[in-house]
Amino acid sequence: MTAVRRLTEDMINRIAAGEVVERPASVVKELVENAIDAGAKRVEIVTAGGGASLIRVTDDGGGMTHDDLGLAIDRHCTSKLTDDLLDIRTLGFRGEALASIGSVARLSIASRHASEPHGWEIVVEGGLVHPPRPAGLNAGTRVEVSDLFFSTPARLKFLKGERAESSAITDIVKRLAMAHPEVRFSLAGSDRGAIDYPVAHGDEPFVERLGQILSQDFVDNSLAIEATREGVRLSGYAGLPTYNRANGLQQFLFVNGRPVRDKLLMGALRAGYADVMSRDRHPVAALRIDLEPHGVDVNVHPAKSDVRFRDPGLVRGLIVGALRNAIHQAGHRSATTGGGATIAAFRTGAPPSAAAWRPSAPMPAFGNAAAPSWRDWANAPAPAPHFSEAAQPAFAAVSQPSADARANAVAANDPTDRPLGAARAQVHENYIIAQTDHGIVIVDQHAAHERLVYERLKTALARSGVARQILLIPDIIDLPEDDVARLLKRADELAELGLAIESFGPGAVAVRETPALLGELDTRSLLVDLADDLAEWDDTTRLREKLDHVAATMACHGSVRSGRRLRPEEMDALLREMEATPGSGQCNHGRPTYVELKLADIERLFGRR
């Protein structure tokens, strides 16, 4: 074993840099945070080579004096921290970003403070500091970082492609710009399309900024959120449940003006939508939490994107409650309670009073009045049971099997002994009611169909045998440029999977062919979801490796919607196909495709057990 020795300053900085500077986007984050902390009203960012070859951030903030500049690039030198680590009012406070960056790249900082006649420039190369030289510039600071990771080649190898790094930078800038609508941001470079977010001058700068960054579409499809509890304020906008995405990249969360990716907050956001969104869909939201600095610890990780709240339960409750409230008030609640929960709700309900329990009209006259069972009802001989007036409307919606059908039902081949039974009726144009030997089955026709399409598609894709249908007129879909680029890059792979797209000028693609199995489909939302999927996957991930996922995304947009009336044979065919298809018991969103009520359950509902 070698003796214990003290690490050199340069080594210490490089170790710290491992945590602070993970990729080019982290450099951009640190530099832009410094500009905001310096009181800048305008921040200009330029990148090249996905930020690996160049990052330049120019601001019009307070700048640094000659002496400050010399100190700023030293580790643990900061102008921001007082003695109280829990009283943090700036984005930076650890005093290690510039030192870290200087140890793994070529860093040059030119800055001018109002108290000095001219500016100064300092250069650091892989930890080696050159003394400050006079420099001509207006008030403010210009930081240039080039050849990132030239001194730590191992890190360089971990960088993703230029496009991925450049879009990670865009993401960071969007988040910081969203948190600071009072500052103008521009981002440009040879590796990207330019963006510019001018200062919002209206009454609601945050909403204006959201419109600039997320599109007016989001603003129009979202709910204003505003709630305060015990000094913690939640404000912002949350998308309607129907305005959802395939991943969480469109979730923007801020704590005291700091963009965070905090598990607690993301979990609370999810929980707020739990009742109204399937597990594989993600809400779009931009939410700000503001509280007294002592209520939150941001010194959890060098990247400062995790936080610890002093009272996590309070914050979670505030978010979940406010979201549920807003969604409920918007009237967009969709009931997706599982069958088990329904039964449980019935079971746990207070025993009904005798008066409420007894129907006002005479009890229906069943064939066997003494002990009617489901079987008795279904096979009841004519005359048909006599229902009270009050009960009529509920049954009117049922397409009653004709007398003939009922006669057939008793025939020897009546499939009530099959797991999903014999179809008896379709109600509300989406639910198939089937009779089994031991109860009834209710099938969600839309969900079931979607699952079957998914399974067929998956099989076809695996065999490369996807039949395509050529669209008579190509669908032209407008999409953000990032999305267009992502999709076109994968055009060959998508074509293999039955989806033929091609470029249609900037910001649009033309869809020429779609998988025939999907029937008529909403190509726009399919492409949006596929682009979301691609954004999440590594550039090197082959779509074939994600076949299940792609098939699920496609099936979701191509299935027969509820609302189609099915003939009895069609219903039975659907039930038989479900029985023959593994995994057909739940739809692609994890909801059940059917629920079964055992006779015993039904009897319990009626207080017979």
Query: Which among Mg ion, ligand ADP, none contacts residue 558 (Cβ within 5 to 8 A by kind)?
Result: none
Nearer to Mg ion, 92 or 127 (CB): 92
Which one of Mg ion, ligand ADP, none interacts with residue 517, CB within 5 to 8 A by kind? none
Q: Is the CB of 72 or the CB of 574 nearer to ligand ADP?
A: 72
Closest CB to ligand ADP among residues 138, 503: 138
Q: How far is the CB of 77 from Mg ion (least distance, A)?
A: 11
b/e per residue 253-263 (b: at least 16 CB within 10 A): bbbbebbbebe
CB burial string 570-585: b at 16+ within 10 A, e below: ebbebbebbeebeebe
Q: How many residues bind ligand ADP (CB under 6 A)?
A: 22
**Per-residue contact string for residues 395-434; x = within reach of ligand ADP by CB under 6 A:** ----------------------------------------
Pairing of strands 119-125, 42-48: unpaired
Binder of ligand ADP out of 59, 144, 165, 483 (CB under 6 A): 59
List the interface residues with ligand ADP, window 27-46 (CB under 6 A). Answer: 30, 34-35, 38
For residue 383, say if its preceding peptide bond is cis, omega within 30 degrees of 0.
yes
b/e burial code for range 495-517 (CB count within 10 A of at least 16 → b): bebbbbbeebeeeebbbbbbbeb
Q: Please classify residue 132 by burial: count the beta carbons closer than 10 Å to its beta carbon, then call 0-12 exposed, 13-18 middle and 19+ buried.
A: buried
Query: C-beta of 125: minimal distance to Mg ion in Å?
Result: 20
Does position 97 interact with ligand ADP (CB under 6 A)? The reply is: yes
Q: How far is the CB of 307 from ligand ADP (least distance, A)?
A: 16
Rounded least distance, CB 37 to ligand ADP, Å: 6
Helix, strand, or coil (residue 190): coil
Closer to ligand ADP by CB, 113 or 209: give it.
113
For tokens 């330019």, the residue is 194
Select the binding partner of residue 485 from ligand ADP, Mg ion, none (C-beta < 5 to 8 A, by kind): none
For 176, residues 6+ apart whose C-beta sits below 8 A from its C-beta are 29, 32, 33, 36, 185, 259
Segment 117 to 146, residues that bind ligand ADP, using CB under 6 A: 141
Among 42, 80, 270, 456, which residue sits at the site for ligand ADP (rule: CB under 6 A)? 80
Q: In the sheet that 285-290 helps form, which strands lie side by side, from edge to edge?
A: 222-229, 232-239, 285-290, 251-255, 258-260
What, of ligand ADP, Mg ion, none, does residue 62 touch, CB below 5 to 8 Å by kind?
A: ligand ADP
Calpha distance 223→491 (Å, rounded): 36
Token pair of 68, please? 């400050």
**Site membership for ligand ADP, residue 102 (CB under 6 A):** no
Q: Closest separation between CB of residue 104 and ligand ADP, Å?
A: 13
Q: Which residue stretch of 89-97, 221-229, 560-568, 595-603 sits at the interface with ligand ADP (rule: CB under 6 A)?
A: 89-97
Torsion sign across C-alpha atoms 539, 543, 546, 551: positive
Q: How far is CA 89 from CA 37, 80, 225, 302, 372, in A?
A: 9, 8, 24, 16, 72
Which residue lies nearer to ligand ADP by CB, 102 or 592? 102
Give the binding site for Mg ion (CB under 5 A).
34, 92, 97
Q: Identify what 63 binds: ligand ADP, Mg ion, none; CB under 5 to 8 Å per kind.
A: ligand ADP
- State the CB neighbour count (10 A cutoff) for residue 366: 15
Q: Closer to ligand ADP at the Cβ: 80 or 163?
A: 80
Piece of the chain touching ligand ADP by CB under 6 A; list 55-63, 248-256, 488-496, 540-548: 55-63
Cβ–Cβ under 8 Å, residues 296 and 226? no
Q: What is the DSSP string of 218-268?
A: HHHTEEEEEEEETTEEEEEEEE-TTS-BSSGGGEEEEETTEEE--HHHHHH
Kindly indicate which of the ranges 75-83, 344-352, 443-451, 548-556 contains the residues binding ligand ADP, using the contact rule CB under 6 A.
75-83
DSSP per-residue codes, 112-136: E-TTSSSEEEEEEETTEEEEEEEE-
Report in angstroms how near the CB of residue 34 gets to Mg ion at its nearest.
4
Contacts of 29 (CB under 8 A, 6+ apart): 172, 176, 303
- By CB under 6 A, name the one of 16, 64, 223, 531 that touches ligand ADP: 64
> Which among ligand ADP, Mg ion, none contacts residue 409 (Cβ within 5 to 8 A by kind)?
none
How far is residue 348's CA from residue 331's CA, in Å, rounded to a whole number? 27
Q: Which does residue 584 bind out of Mg ion, ligand ADP, none, counting CB within 5 to 8 angstroms by kind?
A: none
- Identity of the residue, 142 or 557, whose beta carbon is nearer to Mg ion in the bound complex: 142
Which residue stretch of 47-55, 70-78, 204-212, 506-514 sits at the interface with ligand ADP (rule: CB under 6 A)?
70-78
d(CA 123, CA 376): 90
Region of 90-98, 242-250, 430-438, 567-575 interacting with ligand ADP (CB under 6 A): 90-98
The residue among 57 and 323 lying less far from ligand ADP, judged by its C-beta, is 57
Find the Cα–Cα–Cα–Cα dihedral 26, 30, 36, 38, rounded to 10°. Answer: -170
Minimum distance from residue 206 beta carbon to ligand ADP (Å): 24
**Closer residue to ligand ADP, CB minimum distance, 27 or 223:** 27
Binding partner of residue 419 among Mg ion, ligand ADP, none, CB under 5 to 8 Å per kind?
A: none
User: What residues from 533 to 572 belong to the interface with ligand ADP (CB under 6 A)?
Assistant: none
Decide: residue 416, CB within 10 A, 0-12 exposed, 13-18 middle, 19+ buried.
middle
Min separation Cβ 220 and Mg ion, Å: 36
Token code pair at residue 423 = 């179809």
Among 48, 69, 182, 46, residue whose Cα is nearest residue 133: 69
Please, which residues have CB within 8 angstroms of residue 107's CB and are 6 or more apart in sequence?
A: 73, 98, 101, 123, 124, 125, 143, 144, 145
Among 49, 50, 51, 61, interactor with ligand ADP by CB under 6 A: 61
Shortest approach of ligand ADP to residue 180 CB, angstroms?
14
Token couple for 214 = 């997320």
Could you say which of ligand ADP, Mg ion, none residue 252 binds, taking C-beta under 5 to 8 angstroms by partner kind?
Answer: none
Q: How long, in residues, is the chain?
A: 609
Provide the mask over 506-525, with x wherever binding to ligand ADP is found by CB under 6 A and - wherever it is not.
Answer: --------------------
Which does residue 98 bind out of ligand ADP, Mg ion, none, counting CB within 5 to 8 angstroms by kind?
ligand ADP
Tally helices (H) and strands (E) across the chain.
22, 22
Shortest gap between Cβ of 34 and ligand ADP (angstroms)? 3
Burial of residue 216 (number of CB atoms within 10 Å: 0-12, 13-18, 19+): exposed
- Residues near ligand ADP (CB under 6 A) are 30, 34-35, 38, 59, 61-64, 72, 77-80, 92-98, 141
